[in-house]
Amino acid sequence: MGNSKSGALSKEILEELQLNTRFTEEELSTWYQSFLKECPSGRITRQEFQTIYSKFFPDADPKAYAQHVFRSFDANSDGTLDFKEYVIALHMTSMCKTNQKLEWAFSLYDVDGNGSISKNEVLEIVTAIFKMISPEDVKCLPEDENTPEKRAEKIWGFFGKKDDDKLTEKEFIEGTLANMEILRLIQFEPQKVKEKFKEKKP
Which domains are assigned to the chain?
A: 13-95 (1.10.238.10), 98-186 (1.10.238.10)
pLDDT for res 4:
41
Exposure string of 14-49, with b = 16+ CB inside 10 Å and e = fewer, is beebeeebebeeebbeebbeebbeebeebbbeeeeb
pLDDT for res 37:
86
- Rounded to the nearest angstrom, the gap between the alpha carbon of residue 37 and the centroid of all alpha carbons in its chain is 24
pLDDT for res 191:
41
pTM of the model: 0.77
**Partners of 45 in beta bridges:** 80
Q: Walk along the chain (202 residues) and give the pLDDT tens digit of each residue.
A: 444 444 578 888 888 888 878 788 888 888 898 888 888 888 999 998 888 778 777 777 888 988 998 998 887 888 999 998 888 877 776 665 778 789 889 999 999 999 999 999 999 999 999 998 888 888 888 899 999 999 999 999 999 999 999 999 999 999 999 998 998 898 865 444 444 444 544 4
